[in-house]
Amino acid sequence: MSNAKLRAKISSAPKRPGIYRYLDEKGGVLYVGKALQLQDRLKSYFQTDVSAKTRQMLTLARSVNWIETGSEFAALLLEARLIKLHQPHYNIALRDDKSYIYVFISTGEEFPIVILARKPKQNITKGKWELCENLKGEYFGPFASNRVTRELLRRLRRVVPFCQQKPGARRVCFYHHLGLCSPCPAGIRKTSGIEYQELKRQYRSQIRKLAQILSGKLDLVQKELTNEMNSFAQNLEFENAQAAKRQLRRFEWLLAYHDTTSAFLGNPNFYFDEQHKACDELQLLLKKHNVVLDYPHRIECFDVSTFGGTDSFASQVVFIDGVPEKKDYRLYRMRAQGKPNDVAMLAEAVKRRLTHKEWPFPDLLVVDGGKPQVSTVNKILEQNTPKLPLIGLAKRNEQIIISTHDGFSTITLVRTHLTLQLIQAIRDEAHRFANSRHRRARAKRILTEALRI
């Protein structure tokens, strides 16, 4: 097939995510690539400024075919599998002698670890420690660069938490405190009996899902996550059901087609660009519902955690331009203990926060809850000058609630909407922060009471 015929075929390629393969006259695979928009990527090969190696590959190419994947995330995984399968000459030649990156998951240990490797059969280095080259495990990839692979793992960690800490570490890792390594092997080792076995099973299950995703078994993982969520709900384990729902939602986002993201993993500032865009969309969305809001540079969110009215805490988390600002997080121990009342505790936390005039005031307040929470907090804010914009996120249907002069306005967004994902992330962080402090206080109280007996 001549270059003219190749160009003619490329003009029929879809403008959708997928992988493409250039083939030689014998049908051998010369090169495998991925693209957010297949047609645009394939046309770029015929521009005048391509490299000499690319021009050389095109002189040998006699055909090109492609596979749509639905998302660039799925394309990235399929590209890695096909490179590993076919070992195309020009995938290696166009790397300029740089080796590919692999994700290595150990299989011979009680708590498998996840690390990056340059090549199989080489020592794997993580920070200042090394694992021997005969360590049992499985390699996934190859991936084009260290940056791409780390971004891939960062996104997967939000779906299936895993540990990258040195085996045998005594303290839980940094990611454990962010809820991104849960349960952490270092923490599991401090337990015993049934609890130890259950946490170990949970961790190994997460690692198994991670391996399935990296193997391209996306439908299987999606089905498993859905089944887990439904099982928790049927057993009335609502906290676990909500956690499973968040996990499923994050996974579905990875599989969704994001046509506005020009470089899912190609842009080193991808995460921050997306957060800024989410803030822009949030501002426009609320403006349509008559909420006067400047650019939401600083967003504060409140949530409460209690158990039977004891050890009650409210959390205040802060996001700057869509990114957590942990140094500004605050916790409030509820002064009114006794019969639990989430709405009253939320009101107390907001009142106490407003007394701190020395803290920067937020551009937007978010509360975890629906109409009762929004109504109560809105009455408090009406006494404040200037009045702060307020929204709530109702748990049941993940709807955004706004107080209006004649009642409430409810906004329902699709799961993949950037604004909803931003508000959910802020709410989830407030929930995590409140719960972590509540659990520590409750455990301390139980231990103290036990020692008195």
Q: What is the pLDDT of residues 319-370, one digit of tens each?
A: 988 888 888 999 898 876 666 688 999 999 999 999 998 888 899 999 998 8
Q: What is the pLDDT of residues 73-110, one digit of tens each?
A: 888 888 888 888 888 888 865 454 456 788 888 887 88
Buried b / exposed e along 168-182 (16+ C-beta atoms within 10 A):
eeeebbebbebbbbb
Q: How do strand 364-368 and strand 390-394 relate by DSSP bridges?
A: parallel
Buried b / exposed e along 84-118 (16+ C-beta atoms within 10 A):
eeeebebbbebeeeeebbbbbbbeeeebbbbbbbe
Looking at 3.30.450.190, 3.40.190.10, 3.30.420.340, 2.130.10.10, the CATH number of the domain 270-452 comes to: 3.30.420.340
Give CATH 3.40.1440.10 domain extents, the chain: 3-87
- pLDDT in tens for each of the 453 residues of the chain? 567 778 888 888 888 888 899 998 888 899 999 988 899 999 998 887 778 888 888 888 888 988 888 788 888 888 888 888 888 888 865 454 456 788 888 887 888 888 887 765 444 444 433 444 556 788 887 887 777 788 888 888 888 888 888 777 888 888 887 778 888 888 998 898 998 899 999 999 999 999 999 888 888 888 888 898 888 888 888 878 887 887 888 787 777 655 443 443 444 344 555 677 788 888 888 888 888 787 888 999 999 887 655 678 889 999 988 888 888 999 898 876 666 688 999 999 999 999 998 888 899 999 998 899 999 999 999 887 678 899 999 877 789 999 887 788 899 987 778 888 889 889 988 888 888 765 665 555 555 555 555
Q: Which amino acid, residue 285?
A: L
Give CATH 3.30.420.340 domain extents, the chain: 270-452
Question: Which pLDDT does position 124 carry in this prediction?
Answer: 44
State the Cα–Cα distance between residues 112 and 108, nearest whole angstrom. Answer: 7
Class in CATH terms, 3-87: alpha beta
**Model pTM above 0.75:** no
Question: Which pLDDT does position 317 carry in this prediction?
Answer: 94
Here the tokens at position 237 are 């384990």
